[in-house]
Amino acid sequence: MRALLLSSGVGTVIEWYDFFVFASAAALVFDKIFFPRFDPLSGVLLSLTTYAVGFVTRPLGGVVFGVLGDRYGRKRALVWSLVLMGLATVAIGLVPSYATIGVAAPILLVILRLTQGLAVGGEVGGAVLLVAESLSAQRRGYWTAWPQVGGPAGNLAAAGVLALLAAALTDRQFSEWGWRVAFLLSGLLVGVGVWMRTRVEESPLYRDYVERRRQARAGRPTLGQTLAAHWRAVLVVLLVKAGENALFYVFTTFFVVYVTRVLHLPRSLALGATLVASAAEVVTIFAAGALSDRVGRRPVTALGLVSAAVWTFVLFPVTAAGNPTAVTLAAVVGGVCHGFIVGGMSPFFVELFPTSARYTGFSVGYQLASVVSGAVAPLIGVALLDAFGSTVPVSIYAAAMAVPALACVWRSRETRGADLAVVE
């Protein structure tokens, strides 16, 4: 059990570290490295666009690794996704600047970002499923928190590494080569993650499912059959995740842009606040997961969505004061609110599907949401701020994304205690 929880948690931390280090670098330095010929705001928008394109391939990754996970096992799919992510991230750290190879630099950056998106598309679903299908149902909310803390913990690691580099180096050194160190470190982390994942066993529920299929001489359902049979559950995952995603990226990526580019506060303050907020969110996800085992998935998820939506209207006025304590507190409260959403929705999503469709259904809905909300949230935030000169429209946008999510939670059945051994 310890090996399973650690491997699921460490693997997702590494995958999301790779993903978030790109997001932070895009907000901080990519405009100067890859788009130096544009004015500052346009350069930031283009940098965030390279970040956003990674979401385009996440649904494809969800389909590819979802089908692989349902056909060949959760464990294999997770190892493959981690290796692909690590290779892409290390390669990003080696891409020459625009000044060196011209337009080929941003093109290479986009290609590697698309590869990152493909890899991360199959990560969360597989990691959560492997844990949920292997451990007791009574504490499933708590168990599924382990892989889900990979998001904030990966963000924590990315912010921590970049904060250390920013503190140790001058602005020029950080812009010229310091940011690359954060990407190259991924090679070491992936080696550890792959070693840990190869040591865990396949999900017993999945092994039992395969044996039943073999004895019945039954073929595995196709992608089309899976989506046709479980489209309602996929839609619930999509809409709830879309609301959560929009709130998350406003609290993180757009928050960093707002603090550094609008308020002109030190980047070390923005990264430090994000680091503390990520640490608070890790603790919250565990607490929310455990709470969902007692009171249900729906009330915990709804509490997170409502509190996060309300906080979007408080976040920026508090941050605008410019006081380091206020900036950090604003980020921490956002992280806690978001942690409640994640802690409740993770077991909820797992329990919506039978074994035969769980990896595919979970991953497709989860990753489609990343395109319709996560990919565009920072871009929409910057565009709204530029158009209206106020953060109020940004808050309205983020809160509005939570409304469909709340409606889905309200209308869905409570899944706590669901039997995951159901095959069809």
Span 384-420, pLDDT tens digits: 988 898 899 999 999 999 999 999 999 999 999 888 8
Note the pLDDT of residue 148.
Answer: 85
The residue that leads in pLDDT, 309 or 371, is 309
Phi/psi at 330 (nearest 5 deg)? -60, -45
What is the C-alpha to C-alpha distance for residues 236 and 412, in angstroms, rounded to an integer?
Answer: 8
> What average pLDDT score do residues 42-47 get?
76
What is the C-alpha to C-alpha distance for residues 261 and 50, in angstroms, rounded to an integer?
Answer: 18
Note the pLDDT of residue 239.
Answer: 96
* Gyration radius from the chain CA atoms: 20
Cα torsion 383, 336, 147, 138: sign: negative
| Distance in angstroms between the alpha carbons of the first and the last residue of the chain | 27
The residues near 230 (Cβ < 8 Å, ≥ 6 apart) are: 352, 353, 354, 357, 361
pLDDT in tens, 180-227: 888 888 888 888 888 888 888 888 888 887 888 777 666 666 778 888
pLDDT in tens, 271-330: 789 889 988 999 999 999 999 999 999 999 999 999 999 999 999 999 998 899 999 999
**Most confident by average pLDDT, 105-114, 151-160, 163-172, 395-404:** 395-404
* CA distance readout (Å), 205 to 202, 221, 331, 373: 9, 17, 39, 33
Phi/psi at 374 (nearest 5 deg)? -60, -40
Note the pLDDT of residue 422.
Answer: 62
pLDDT over 70 percentage in the chain: 97
> What average pLDDT score do residues 156-160 get?
78
What is the C-alpha to C-alpha distance for residues 416 and 109, in angstroms, rounded to an integer?
Answer: 43
What is the C-alpha to C-alpha distance for residues 90 and 269, in angstroms, rounded to an integer?
Answer: 27
The residues near 320 (Cβ < 8 Å, ≥ 6 apart) are: 263, 391
Note the pLDDT of residue 220.
Answer: 67
Note the pLDDT of residue 46.
Answer: 79
Lowest mean pLDDT among 40-54, 100-114, 229-243: 40-54
> Cβ distance 337 to 308 under 8 Å?
yes
Average pLDDT, the chain: 86
Burial class (CB in 10 A: 0-12, 13-18, 19+), 281: buried
Task: Look at residue 263 and tell me whether its pLDDT is greater than 80.
Answer: yes
Read off the tokens for 307: 């509190």
The owner of tokens 């019945």 is 216
> Cβ distance 180 to 79 under 8 Å?
no
Task: Look at residue 358 and tell me whether its pLDDT is greater than 70.
Answer: yes
pLDDT over 90 percentage in the chain: 30
Lowest mean pLDDT among 66-70, 93-97, 218-222, 361-365: 218-222
Amino acid letter for position 101: I
Identify the structural domains of the chain with CATH numbers, from first to last: 2-411 (1.20.1250.20)
What is the C-alpha to C-alpha distance for residues 233 and 224, in angstroms, rounded to an integer?
Answer: 14
